Protein backbone atom coordinates (compact mmCIF):
# COMPACT_ATOMS: atom_id res chain seq x y z
CA UNK A 1 0.00 0.00 0.00
CA UNK A 2 1.27 3.42 -0.95
CA UNK A 3 2.00 5.96 1.74
CA UNK A 4 0.40 9.29 0.91
CA UNK A 5 2.67 12.21 1.63
CA UNK A 6 1.72 15.80 2.24
CA UNK A 7 1.75 18.10 -0.81
CA UNK A 8 2.50 21.26 1.11
CA UNK A 9 4.70 22.60 3.88
CA UNK A 10 3.34 24.22 6.99
CA UNK A 11 4.82 27.60 7.93
CA UNK A 12 7.97 27.48 10.03
CA UNK A 13 6.60 30.00 12.51
CA UNK A 14 2.97 29.04 13.12
CA UNK A 15 2.03 32.08 15.21
CA UNK A 16 3.46 34.91 13.10
CA UNK A 17 0.74 37.57 13.32
CA UNK A 18 1.64 39.32 10.06
CA UNK A 19 1.53 36.07 8.05
CA UNK A 20 -1.70 34.96 9.70
CA UNK A 21 -3.45 38.23 8.85
CA UNK A 22 -2.29 38.03 5.24
CA UNK A 23 -3.51 34.42 5.01
CA UNK A 24 -6.90 35.39 6.46
CA UNK A 25 -7.32 38.14 3.86
CA UNK A 26 -6.42 35.73 1.03
CA UNK A 27 -8.79 33.09 2.38
CA UNK A 28 -11.70 35.53 2.44
CA UNK A 29 -10.86 37.00 -0.96
CA UNK A 30 -10.56 33.68 -2.78
CA UNK A 31 -13.10 31.70 -0.73
CA UNK A 32 -10.63 29.12 0.54
CA UNK A 33 -11.93 26.69 3.09
CA UNK A 34 -8.78 25.96 5.05
CA UNK A 35 -5.24 27.24 5.12
CA UNK A 36 -3.88 24.00 3.68
CA UNK A 37 -5.32 25.09 0.31
CA UNK A 38 -3.32 28.30 0.52
CA UNK A 39 -0.20 26.44 1.60
CA UNK A 40 -0.53 24.08 -1.39
CA UNK A 41 -0.67 27.07 -3.73
CA UNK A 42 2.37 28.58 -2.03
CA UNK A 43 4.17 25.26 -2.44
CA UNK A 44 3.39 25.16 -6.16
CA UNK A 45 4.69 28.70 -6.61
CA UNK A 46 7.79 27.87 -4.57
CA UNK A 47 8.51 24.92 -6.88
CA UNK A 48 8.16 27.08 -10.01
CA UNK A 49 10.49 29.70 -8.56
CA UNK A 50 13.02 27.08 -7.43
CA UNK A 51 13.01 25.60 -10.92
CA UNK A 52 13.45 29.05 -12.49
CA UNK A 53 16.44 29.81 -10.23
CA UNK A 54 18.02 26.48 -11.13
CA UNK A 55 17.50 27.09 -14.85
CA UNK A 56 18.96 30.59 -14.57
CA UNK A 57 22.08 29.11 -12.98
CA UNK A 58 22.47 26.26 -15.48
CA UNK A 59 21.42 28.34 -18.53
CA UNK A 60 19.50 25.41 -20.02
CA UNK A 61 17.48 27.06 -22.82
CA UNK A 62 15.42 23.95 -23.65
CA UNK A 63 14.18 23.44 -20.09
CA UNK A 64 13.67 27.20 -19.71
CA UNK A 65 11.41 27.23 -22.77
CA UNK A 66 9.45 24.26 -21.40
CA UNK A 67 8.86 26.01 -18.08
CA UNK A 68 7.86 29.30 -19.72
CA UNK A 69 5.50 27.52 -22.14
CA UNK A 70 3.84 25.66 -19.27
CA UNK A 71 3.31 28.86 -17.28
CA UNK A 72 2.04 30.59 -20.42
CA UNK A 73 -0.53 27.82 -21.04
CA UNK A 74 -1.66 28.09 -17.43
CA UNK A 75 -2.20 31.81 -17.92
CA UNK A 76 0.35 32.87 -15.32
CA UNK A 77 2.75 34.52 -17.77
CA UNK A 78 2.57 36.27 -21.12
CA UNK A 79 4.23 35.26 -24.39
CA UNK A 80 7.28 37.50 -23.97
CA UNK A 81 8.08 36.36 -20.41
CA UNK A 82 11.50 35.39 -19.10
CA UNK A 83 12.84 33.74 -15.96
CA UNK A 84 12.80 37.04 -14.06
CA UNK A 85 9.04 37.26 -14.56
CA UNK A 86 8.70 33.73 -13.13
CA UNK A 87 10.48 34.91 -10.00
CA UNK A 88 8.11 37.87 -9.69
CA UNK A 89 4.96 35.69 -9.63
CA UNK A 90 2.89 35.68 -6.45
CA UNK A 91 0.44 33.28 -4.84
CA UNK A 92 -2.40 35.58 -5.93
CA UNK A 93 -1.51 34.90 -9.58
CA UNK A 94 -1.99 31.19 -9.00
CA UNK A 95 -5.16 31.63 -6.92
CA UNK A 96 -6.66 33.64 -9.81
CA UNK A 97 -6.34 30.55 -12.02
CA UNK A 98 -8.34 28.26 -9.68
CA UNK A 99 -11.67 27.01 -11.01
CA UNK A 100 -13.50 28.55 -8.06
CA UNK A 101 -12.16 32.02 -8.89
CA UNK A 102 -12.75 31.65 -12.63
CA UNK A 103 -16.37 30.57 -12.05
CA UNK A 104 -16.90 33.63 -9.87
CA UNK A 105 -15.23 35.91 -12.42
CA UNK A 106 -17.41 34.50 -15.22
CA UNK A 107 -20.48 35.30 -13.04
CA UNK A 108 -21.73 31.72 -12.95
CA UNK A 109 -21.95 32.26 -9.19
CA UNK A 110 -22.69 35.29 -7.03
CA UNK A 111 -20.13 34.65 -4.29
CA UNK A 112 -16.97 32.62 -3.93
CA UNK A 113 -18.72 30.30 -1.47
CA UNK A 114 -21.51 29.69 -3.97
CA UNK A 115 -18.92 29.00 -6.67
CA UNK A 116 -17.26 26.45 -4.40
CA UNK A 117 -20.59 24.79 -3.66
CA UNK A 118 -21.54 24.57 -7.34
CA UNK A 119 -18.20 22.94 -8.12
CA UNK A 120 -18.24 20.42 -5.26
CA UNK A 121 -21.82 19.43 -6.09
CA UNK A 122 -20.77 18.76 -9.71
CA UNK A 123 -22.84 21.53 -11.27
CA UNK A 124 -19.86 23.03 -13.13
CA UNK A 125 -18.27 21.44 -16.18
CA UNK A 126 -15.09 22.25 -18.03
CA UNK A 127 -15.29 21.28 -21.70
CA UNK A 128 -18.39 19.19 -20.92
CA UNK A 129 -16.70 17.18 -18.14
CA UNK A 130 -17.75 17.48 -14.50
CA UNK A 131 -15.05 18.93 -12.30
CA UNK A 132 -15.48 18.36 -8.59
CA UNK A 133 -12.40 20.16 -7.27
CA UNK A 134 -12.41 23.93 -6.66
CA UNK A 135 -8.60 24.00 -6.73
CA UNK A 136 -8.46 22.77 -10.34
CA UNK A 137 -6.05 25.10 -12.17
CA UNK A 138 -7.79 26.26 -15.34
CA UNK A 139 -5.52 26.57 -18.38
CA UNK A 140 -6.07 29.68 -20.45
CA UNK A 141 -7.49 27.71 -23.41
CA UNK A 142 -10.21 26.07 -21.26
CA UNK A 143 -11.38 29.27 -19.59
CA UNK A 144 -14.06 29.90 -22.23
CA UNK A 145 -15.32 26.30 -21.99
CA UNK A 146 -16.54 26.53 -18.39
CA UNK A 147 -20.30 26.18 -18.02
CA UNK A 148 -23.03 24.51 -16.05
CA UNK A 149 -23.20 20.74 -16.39
CA UNK A 150 -26.32 20.11 -18.48
CA UNK A 151 -27.32 16.58 -17.37
CA UNK A 152 -27.90 17.58 -13.75
CA UNK A 153 -30.74 19.91 -14.59
CA UNK A 154 -29.13 23.09 -13.32
CA UNK A 155 -30.94 25.81 -15.15
CA UNK A 156 -29.38 29.06 -16.15
CA UNK A 157 -31.50 32.02 -15.06
CA UNK A 158 -34.03 32.98 -17.70
CA UNK A 159 -34.61 36.65 -18.45
CA UNK A 160 -37.89 38.10 -17.26
CA UNK A 161 -40.57 38.97 -19.81
CA UNK A 162 -40.15 42.66 -19.05
CA UNK A 163 -36.44 42.37 -19.96
CA UNK A 164 -37.25 40.60 -23.24
CA UNK A 165 -39.94 43.02 -24.40
CA UNK A 166 -38.03 46.03 -23.67
**pLDDT tens readout for residues 18-70:** 999 999 999 999 999 999 999 999 999 999 999 999 999 999 999 999 999 99
- Domains of the chain: residue spans and CATH: 9-90 (no CATH), 98-156 (3.10.290.10)
**Given a cut of 70, is residue 155 above it in pLDDT?**
no
Helix segments in 5-90, DSSP class H: 17-30, 35-58, 61-74, 83-87
CB 94 within 8 Å of CB 139: no
pLDDT interval class at 134 (50, 70, 90):
very high
Task: Say how far apart CA 35 and CA 42 lie, in whole Å.
Answer: 11
Q: What is the mean pLDDT of the chain?
A: 92
The whole-number pLDDT of residue 150 equals 82
Residue of 89, 80, 96, 79 whose CA lies nearest to 32: 96
pLDDT interval class at 162 (50, 70, 90):
low
Amino acid sequence: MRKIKRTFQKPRHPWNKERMEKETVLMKTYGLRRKAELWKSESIMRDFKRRARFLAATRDKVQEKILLDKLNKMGLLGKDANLDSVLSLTVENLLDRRLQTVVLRKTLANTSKQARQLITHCHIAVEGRKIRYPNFLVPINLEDKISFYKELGVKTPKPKESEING
